[in-house]
Amino acid sequence: MASLSGRDLLSLADLSPKEVQDLLQMATQLKSQKLKLQCNKVLGLLFSKASTRTRVSFSVAMYQLGGQVIDLNPNVTQLSRGEPVQDTARVLDRYLDILAIRTFAQQELETFAHYAKIPVINALTDLEHPCQVLADLLTIKESFDTFAGLTLTYLGDGNNVANSLMLGCALVGMNVRISTPIGYEPNAAVIQTARSIANDKTEVILTHDPEDATKGANVLYTDVWASMGQESEADDRTPIFQPYQINEQLLSLADLEAIVLHCLPAHRGEEITDEVIEGSQSRVWDQAENRMHIQKALLASILGAE
């Protein structure tokens, strides 16, 4: 059983390949109810960004483990009035058993983790979205039963999801191609880290050609073209990103048994068409469900559920 007792998860790079595989195995057992765990602990959710799947999946996961959840809206805490992050972190440390944070800057997350003794989980920052990609890996494992020899192609903005996908694919030994418009590439430091983890055993490829990136791929993945905080750029981005839309024509270039993933919310008709997201190759709803199962495994592993 996966054991991350007392640890933070700020980046997927915090995990070893074995720890990722152990988490996936635990999530599979929890999902099938072959494994049942209890954990009478309190989870705090400190979310500065809007959330549906992350908020609900973390809450349900913790309730199903027998724990409790406190939703800490920053707008009604003293953070909204300028209380230093380190002060809030040291106080919450004395009330909670674990804290999941969804915010903008990775540095804010790291500051919380530095000053709080309790485990801190990255529930999304502008740099990474590790819990999402763990759920993506679970969905891919369910579809193919292996990662060996598979290629995942991500099309669109080189955002937090793209960053975490590179790390996640490298950790499980899956090839990854990131295809973005020029100027919208993923974080350079994350690219370097992912390639170091891959260690020439798998490929971490960046390209600006969506068709070339899609050819023969086993998994096609996309996200919105303008992330939270970038909404004012959406109209300007549309013509730039249009060639990266996952539609039936682009999908036809992938492997015949390829699956399609999207972390949601989807802007249908922009980064993905209705026909594809509702089509037989879409695994988007399984992917969304798996957020709950992988986060249950993560919470159980960190908190030592029995």
- Mean local confidence (pLDDT), 174-186: 98
Per DSSP, 258 falls in state -
Catalytic residue among 132, 281, 287, 295: 132
Mean pLDDT of the residues in the chain: 96
Catalytic site residue from 21, 64, 129, 293:
129
Which of 177, 237, 283, 291 does the annotation list as catalytic?
291
Rounded average pLDDT over 88-114: 97
Identical fold for domains 12-128+291-303 and 130-287, yes or no, is yes
Q: How far is CA 122 from CA 17, 128, 136, 179, 247, in A?
A: 18, 8, 16, 25, 31
Predicted structure pTM score: 0.97
Computed from CA positions of residues 91, 94, 95, 96, in that sequence, does the dihedral angle turn out positive or negative? Answer: positive
7 counts as catalytic:
no
Among this protein's residues, is 195 annotated catalytic?
no
130-287 maps to CATH 3.40.50.300: no
Task: Give pLDDT, residue 40.
Answer: 95
Q: Confirm whether 86 is a catalytic residue.
A: no
H/E run at residue 177: strand 175-179
- Clarify whether 268 is annotated catalytic: no
Whole-angstrom Cα distance, residue 275 to residue 34? 36
Residue 235 has what pLDDT? 83
CB burial string 252-266: b at 16+ within 10 A, e below: ebbbeebbbbbbbeb
Res 230: pLDDT:
77
* pLDDT tens-digit series, residues 69-81: 999 987 778 877 7
Q: CA nearest 286: which of 58, 31, 25, 9? A: 31
Q: What pLDDT was estimated at residue 1?
A: 65
Q: Pick the catalytic residue: 8, 53, 102, 281?
A: 102
Whether 102 sits among the annotated catalytic residues: the reply is: yes
Residue pLDDT, tens place only, 193-237: 999 999 999 999 999 999 999 999 999 999 999 886 777 777 889
Which position among 263, 283, 287, 293 bears the catalytic label?
A: 263
Spell out the CATH class of 12-128+291-303: alpha beta
| pLDDT, tens digit (0-9, with 9 covering 90-100), for 237-248 | 999 999 999 999
Identify the active-site residue in 21, 223, 283, 295: 223
Where in the chain are the domains?
A: 12-128+291-303, 130-287
CA pseudo-torsion sign 48, 224, 286, 259: negative
Active site residue 262: no
